């Protein structure tokens, strides 16, 4: 089997080929590592690669196959981990000079479960410093470039993971999502990104740059089935995360092909307040029509709540500021991006009253969303208001001729971190100059299976995984 064929294999197919002895773990890991050596200098998706330990694990995995031992669902499959998530014995920097040489002594729960399922950790993917930006660049490792057009951004904060997956540098990337950090780069990189319901995949041992009540683990993959399989591995109760759901390990793969006929689906092009690039609207509106052909009852409708950006920023910035203060000696300035410090100055002026008021506004926002999702099974929106933009800025401040805030280019994602609802970004089209566009699928709380099923139905109707960036 040729290296490129291996590197483009979905995780489900790769795991099956390994179980059937058609592909060895050493062949799989070796092919991925060779591709990383070739492609990563162009896109900078990985900030740390652990080739020696990955190959050693692959040899052990191969021995287990040949010995007829019981194999986990991801046995021998290479997986990448975002550099905010702790990995035992592997440097984890958070993209910051503050933790440049930090090597955790324990694994995050998701990493622990991936290893138990037989997955092989091959490295850490790049992220903005403590995940605070919607683009992937940091003072330690620089910028991650979009594999489709290397002069453009990948989005963030799981930009390294999305760039790696679409480039064939591993079929599964584990990311985190506080305001859109799995879905933003998935839209920009033409990957599938899934943010599960809050608490579905337990969180612990990651840089707590933002409020823990917003933080999610989730997969970035090329196919919906790969994400469903990954969720079966990393989801389920673990009391080390006091906020996780009490449910046992879910099963998603078996229901992916059940169809979505009869579901009531709302389509909102702007959530009632966003300004959207015309080419994004063109691609997403075409994708929405596909849901009608799949038997859904599709209506144009928007939830009532206005943009949450002001009080959301208060909560997140205060959490990040607290984290930095806890990890910096009194009187010293944290050695972080100066722009971050400017951003955090606003939070230092916030009173306890203002912070608590922001949390009250959050719960009021969640309650205001509930009636909408009593009527509709799913909500469709553009994932982002714009296609990828050029490296060198933090995002457009003018969209379709209208001035917008810094929040203006990602107005559709943080809502579902706030409410804790499951949300996915599916590739749905391209701009005239060949840049990817994503469609967001949002479900009711805890109905992760419905979101995955809807994404799988759309994928079957409008496949995307057979398209690859020209990096060879």
Helix (H) / strand (E) element for 309: namely: helix 309-326
Measured between alpha carbons, how far is 385 from 399 in angstroms, rounded to an integer?
Answer: 8
Question: Total structural domains in the chain?
Answer: 1
User: 121, 309 in Cβ contact below 8 A?
Assistant: no
Q: Which tens digits make up the pLDDT trace of 175-223?
A: 999 999 999 999 999 999 999 999 999 999 999 755 678 899 999 999 9
- Min mean pLDDT across 69-83, 108-122, 337-351 is at 337-351
pLDDT of residue 180: 96
pLDDT at 228 over 70: yes
Q: Within a domain: residue 39?
A: yes
Whether 438 has a pLDDT exceeding 60, the answer reads: yes
- Is residue 343 in a domain? no
In the annotation, is 157 catalytic? Answer: yes
Res 74: pLDDT: 98
Q: DSSP E strands: which ranges in 199-323?
A: 216-221, 264-267, 297-300
What b/e readout covers 71-87, taking b as 16+ CB neighbours within 10 angstroms?
A: bbbbbbbbbbbbbbbbb
What is the predicted pLDDT for the residue at 210? 54
Element at 441 (helix H, strand E): strand 436-443
Average pLDDT of the segment spanning 29-42: 98
User: What pLDDT is stored for residue 209 in this prediction?
Assistant: 55
Is residue 18 pLDDT above 60, yes or no?
yes
pLDDT at 379 over 70: yes
Residue 443 has pLDDT above 90, yes or no: yes
Give pLDDT, residue 331.
83
Which DSSP string corresponds to 86-149?
-BTTB---TTSGGGTT---SS--HHHHHHHHTT-EEEEEE--SGGG-SSS-EETTTEEPBPSSS
Banded model confidence at residue 121, pLDDT cuts 50, 70, 90: very high
Evaluate if residue 1 carries a pLDDT over 60: yes
**Is residue 117 a part of any domain in this protein?**
yes
User: 275 versus 309: which is more confidently predicted?
Assistant: 275
Q: Over 70: is that where the pLDDT of 86 sits?
A: yes
Which of 100, 154, 157 shows the shortest CA–CA distance to 128? 157
Percent of the chain residues past pLDDT 70, beyond the cut? 99
Query: What local confidence, expressed as pLDDT, does residue 347 receive?
Result: 72
Residue 345 domain flag: no
pLDDT at 348: 75
The chain-wide mean pLDDT, for the chain, equals 95
Mean of the pLDDT values across residues 112-131? 97
Residue at 334 is within a domain: no
Q: Which candidate in 24, 80, 82, 211 is catalytic?
A: 82
Mean per-residue pLDDT, 58-76: 98
CATH code for the domain of 273 = 3.90.1300.10
Mean pLDDT value of segment 363-385: 97
Which of these is catalytic: 157, 167, 347, 425? Answer: 157
Instruction: Give the pLDDT confidence of 305-342 residue by residue, as tens digits.
Output: 889 988 998 898 888 888 898 999 888 888 898 888 88
pLDDT at 341: 87
Q: Is 211 in the active site?
A: no
In a domain, 469, yes or no: no
181 is catalytic: yes
d(CA 469, CA 472): 8
pTM over 0.95: yes
Length of the chain: 472
What value does the mean pLDDT take over residues 30-55? 98
Average pLDDT value for residue range 5-17: 98
Containing structural domain, residue 296: 3-310+351-461
**Is 244 a member of any domain?**
yes
From the list 24, 80, 158, 181, the catalytic residue is 181
**What is the average per-residue pLDDT within 42-69?**
98
Q: Is residue 327 part of a domain?
A: no
Q: Which pLDDT score, from 0 to 100, does residue 387 have?
A: 98
Q: Report the Cα–Cα distance between both ends of the chain, in Å, rounded.
A: 17
């Amino acid at each position: 089997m040729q290296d490129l064929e291996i590197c483009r294999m979905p995780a489900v197919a790769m795991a099956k080929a390994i179980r059937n002895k058609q592909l060895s773990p050493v062949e799989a890991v070796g092919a991925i590592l060779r591709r990383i050596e070739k492609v990563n200098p162009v896109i900078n998706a990985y900030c740390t690669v652990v080739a020696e330990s990955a190959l050693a694990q692959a040899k052990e995995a191969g021995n287990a196959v040949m010995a007829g031992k019981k194999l986990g669902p991801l046995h021998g499959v290479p997986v990448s981990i975002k550099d905010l998530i702790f990995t035992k014995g592997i440097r984890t920097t958070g993209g910051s000079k503050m933790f440049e040489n930090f090597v955790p002594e324990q694994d995050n729960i998701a990493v622990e479960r991936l290893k138990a399922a037989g997955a092989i950790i091959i490295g850490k993917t790049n992220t903005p410093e403590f995940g605070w930006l919607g683009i992937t660049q940091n003072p330690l490792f620089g910028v991650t470039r979009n594999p489709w057009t290397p002069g453009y951004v990948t989005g963030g904060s799981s930009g390294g993971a999305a760039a790696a997956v679409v480039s064939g540098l591993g079929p599964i990337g584990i990311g985190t999502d506080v305001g859109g950090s799995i879905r933003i780069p998935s839209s920009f990189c033409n990957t599938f990104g899934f943010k599960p319901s809050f608490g579905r995949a337990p969180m612990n041992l990651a840089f707590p740059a933002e409020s823990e009540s917003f933080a999610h683990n989730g997969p970035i993959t090329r196919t919906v089935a790969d994400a469903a399989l990954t969720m079966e591995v990393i989801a389920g109760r673990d009391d080390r995360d006091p906020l996780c759901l009490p449910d046992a390990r879910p099963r998603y793969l078996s229901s992916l092909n059940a169809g979505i006929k009869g579901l009531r689906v709302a389509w909102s092009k702007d959530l009632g307040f966003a300004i959207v690039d015309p080419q994004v609207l063109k691609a997403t509106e075409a994708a929405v029509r596909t849901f009608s052909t799949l038997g859904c009852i599709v209506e144009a409708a928007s939830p009532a709540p206005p943009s949450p950006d002001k009080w959301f920023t208060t909560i997140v910035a205060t959490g990040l500021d607290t984290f930095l203060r806890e990890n910096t000696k009194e009187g010293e300035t944290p050695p972080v991006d100066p722009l971050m410090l400017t951003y955090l100055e606003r939070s230092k002026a916030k009173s306890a009253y203002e912070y608590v008021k922001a949390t009250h506004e959050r719960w009021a926002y969640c309650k205001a969303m509930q009636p909408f999702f009593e009527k509709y099974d799913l909500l469709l929106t553009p994932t982002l208001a714009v296609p990828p933009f050029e490296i060198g800025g933090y995002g457009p401040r003018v969209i379709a001729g209208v001035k917008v805030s810094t929040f203006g280019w990602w107005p559709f994602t943080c809502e579902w971190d706030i409410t804790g609802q499951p949300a996915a970004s599916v590739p749905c089209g391209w701009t005239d100059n060949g840049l990817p566009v994503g469609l967001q699928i949002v479900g009711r709380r805890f109905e992760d299976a419905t979101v995955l099923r809807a994404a799988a139905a759309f994928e079957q109707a409008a496949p995307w995984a057979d398209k690859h960036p020209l990096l060879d």
